[in-house]
């Protein structure tokens, strides 16, 4: 039987698929573990603090396999399929690094109302960062607009948030940080995401509509 890269990844030794079904808003981090450092920690802790649902794929330290988002398919994972059916809107957490964007958080995805809502919480919590919601100012490959991207599969789609290294604690800025816990900017980020999730208006359970 022919398999896809995503199914092959899930079948790889040491890769963990994690899912907690709670609220109708969900967080995802399917490039987690060693691939996009701390994205799974941010997503899972924000979900736990806001009683939201969570789905993550965590790669072990000896693996660094990037599957393009639009190829991360529920058809290849019953766990992801159950998550997408359960939530009505989602926030996917990714990490990136790019010259000129070291202190910029990018908010893509098709649910622009949620993007503005998130930005309203992120900006006061992270005053040292720029939170970009204008899709025309986000690099095309980081906009999260592909129909098959998991961020856009739930009934009301969602927001793809791209985090630069500094806000994830993966920057020379934090070389002297000894803890305890996560660096202050990461803690502020998680608190902002949890607050945004908690205050996002509750709506009726999702009804799946045909996609053309």
* Domain residue spans of the chain: 5-199
Interval 20-31 mean pLDDT: 98
**107 DSSP β-pair partners:** 161
Q: State pTM to two decimals.
A: 0.92
The confidence score (pLDDT) of residue 14 equals: 98
pLDDT at position 85 over 50: yes
Residue 44 and residue 54 in contact, taking contact as beta carbons nearer than 8 Å:
yes
Kindly report the average pLDDT of the chain as a whole number: 93
Query: What is the model's pLDDT at position 54?
Result: 98
> Hey, is 21 helix, strand or coil?
coil
87, 19 contact by CB (below 8 A): no
Closest CA to 157 of 148, 168, 169, 167: 148
pLDDT digits (tens, 9 = 90+) for 183-207: 999 999 999 999 999 999 964 333 3
Average pLDDT over residues 30-54: 98
CA angle at 8 for the pair 4 and 10, rounded to the nearest 5°: 120
Task: For residue 59, list its beta bridge partners.
Answer: 33
Kindly give, in sequence order, each residue whose CB lies less than 8 Å from that of residue 181, ignoring residues fewer than 6 positions away: 187
Q: What is the C-alpha to C-alpha distance for residues 182 and 88, in angstroms, rounded to an integer?
A: 30
Least confident of 104-118, 141-155, 171-185: 171-185
Pick the CATH number of 5-199 from 3.40.630.100, 2.60.40.10, 3.40.50.1100, 3.40.50.300: 3.40.630.100
At 88-99, the pLDDT tens digits run: 999 999 999 999
Q: Per mean pLDDT, which range of 38-47, 107-116, 188-197, 198-207 is the poorest?
A: 198-207
Closest CA to 39 of 79, 89, 118, 97: 97
Model confidence band, residue 178 (pLDDT cutoffs 50, 70, 90)? confident
């Amino acid at each position: 039987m022919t398999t896809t890269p995503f199914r092959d990844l899930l079948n790889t030794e040491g890769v963990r698929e994690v899912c907690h079904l709670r609220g109708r808003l969900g967080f995802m981090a399917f490039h987690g573990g060693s691939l996009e450092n701390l994205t799974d920690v941010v997503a899972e802790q924000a979900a736990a603090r806001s009683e939201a649902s969570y789905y993550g794929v965590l790669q072990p330290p000896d693996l660094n396999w990037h599957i393009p988002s639009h190829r991360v398919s529920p058809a290849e994972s019953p766990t992801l399929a159950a998550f997408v059916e359960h939530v009505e809107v989602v926030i996917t957490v990714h990490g990136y690094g790019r010259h000129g964007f070291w202190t910029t958080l990018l908010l893509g995805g098709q649910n622009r109302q949620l993007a503005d809502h998130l930005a309203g919480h992120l900006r006061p919590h992270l005053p040292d960062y720029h939170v970009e919601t204008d899709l025309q100012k986000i690099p095309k490959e980081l906009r999260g607009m592909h129909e098959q991207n998991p961020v856009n599969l739930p009934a009301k789609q969602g927001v793809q948030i791209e985090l630069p290294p500094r806000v994830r604690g993966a920057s020379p800025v934090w070389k002297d940080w000894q803890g305890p816990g996560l660096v202050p900017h990461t803690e502020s980020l998680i608190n902002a995401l949890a607050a945004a999730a908690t205050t996002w208006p509750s709506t009726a359970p999702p009804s799946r509509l045909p996609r053309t």
